[in-house]
């Protein structure tokens, strides 16, 4: 599905990523973990088109992505969320998701003049919105303003907005940061539910309990290099991973 090869980038002499190579499978949850500053978000920024790499290639179902603008990459089916919560603050939840469903769908200007086109688009958007709000458990707050939601709800809303763009691969950047254990568990359920819908997930996350629970495959970055990858149990036993994280100690326990 997603194929990252030899990705490298540096900022003024500081190497952020060095020859990172990995691939994800459809219908799998792939987690990218590593200490702060390991290059995880930079990796996301490059894959989603917000940053250019120094070297290497990224392709999605054999389509090269480097050089495409983020909106085009989203259209191809790769949608990301951000580490710092980003929602359509001034709109109601329902309206925000409804707008989200229209974001990636082509609608040329002349069609706005076509009598029935708007009604049809409205109907489709309304149906999709209901479904997404239901999947994410946001139906009860649908009429609230996005900014009025609790922090945890806003993080869920972000994922709802990403789902509205109809991704084939969803990339979540630290979705559990700032969530309490209960919320984090619900988030885990939701991520598994998303996979069950046939959407692949790439997850950047520090909450190891969550990562160990949901991941099919884990990639460990340290100082911009991939130091390990494999199934959760394998990675947890890897000596280099343990060293990178705590200089000792059990990764599964953190």
Interface residues for other proteins in 151-180 (CB under 8 A)?
161-162, 164-165
| Near other proteins by CB under 8 A: residue from 113, 196, 239, 247 | 113
| Near other proteins by CB under 8 A: residue from 107, 140, 143, 234 | 107
Question: Please, what is the minimum distance in Å from the beta carbon of residue 51 to other proteins?
Answer: 13
C-alpha distances out from residue 226 to 7, 19, 73, Å: 11, 8, 24
DSSP-derived secondary structure letter, 57: E
Are the CB atoms for 172 and 214 separated by under 8 Å?
A: no
Binding mask 195-234 for other proteins (x = CB under 8 A): ----------------------------------------
Our finding on whether 116 is near other proteins (CB under 8 A) is no
The region, left, alpha or beta by phi > 0 then psi within -120 to 50, assigned to residue 68 is beta
| Near other proteins by CB under 8 A: residue from 111, 143, 193, 240 | 111
Nearer to other proteins, 49 or 232 (CB): 49
Nearer to other proteins, 105 or 240 (CB): 105
- Taken as a whole, the chain contains a residue count of 254
Interface residues for other proteins in 124-143 (CB under 8 A)?
125
Cβ burial 131-155 (10 Å sphere, 16+ → b, else e):
ebbebbebeebbebbbeebeebbbb
Are the CB atoms for 152 and 183 separated by under 8 Å?
A: yes
Handedness of CA 71, 74, 80, 81 (dihedral sign): positive
Residues near other proteins (CB under 8 A) are: 48, 50, 69-72, 74-75, 79-82, 86-91, 96, 98-100, 102-105, 107, 109, 111-113, 117-118, 121-122, 125, 161-162, 164-165
């Amino acid at each position: 599905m997603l194929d990252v090869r030899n990705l490298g980038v540096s900022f003024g002499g500081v190497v952020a990523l060095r020859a990172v190579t990995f691939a994800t499978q459809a219908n799998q949850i792939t987690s990218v973990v590593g200490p702060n500053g390991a290059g995880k978000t930079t990796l996301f920024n490059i894959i989603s088109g917000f940053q250019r790499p120094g070297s290497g290639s990224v392709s999605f179902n054999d389509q090269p992505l480097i050089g495409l603008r983020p909106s085009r990459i989203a259209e191809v089916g790769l949608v990301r969320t951000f580490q710092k919560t980003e929602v359509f603050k001034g709109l109601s939840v329902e309206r925000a998701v409804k707008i989200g469903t229209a974001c990636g769908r082509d609608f040329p200007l002349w069609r706005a003049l076509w009598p029935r086109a708007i009604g049809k688009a409205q109907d489709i958007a309304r149906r999709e919105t209901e479904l997404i709000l239901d999947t994410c458990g946001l139906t009860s707050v649908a009429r609230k303003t996005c900014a009025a939601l609790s922090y945890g709800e806003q993080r869920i809303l972000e994922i709802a907005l990403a789902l509205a763009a109809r991704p084939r691969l969803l990339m979540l950047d630290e979705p559990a940061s700032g969530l309490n254990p209960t919320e984090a568990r619900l988030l885990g359920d939701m991520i598994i539910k998303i996979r069950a819908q046939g959407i692949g997930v790439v997850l950047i996350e520090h909450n190891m309990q969550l990562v160990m629970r949901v991941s099919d495959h884990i990639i460990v970055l340290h100082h911009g290099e991939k130091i390990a990858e494999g199934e959760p149990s394998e990675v947890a036993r890897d000596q280099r991973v343990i060293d990178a994280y705590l200089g000792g100690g059990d990764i599964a326990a953190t």
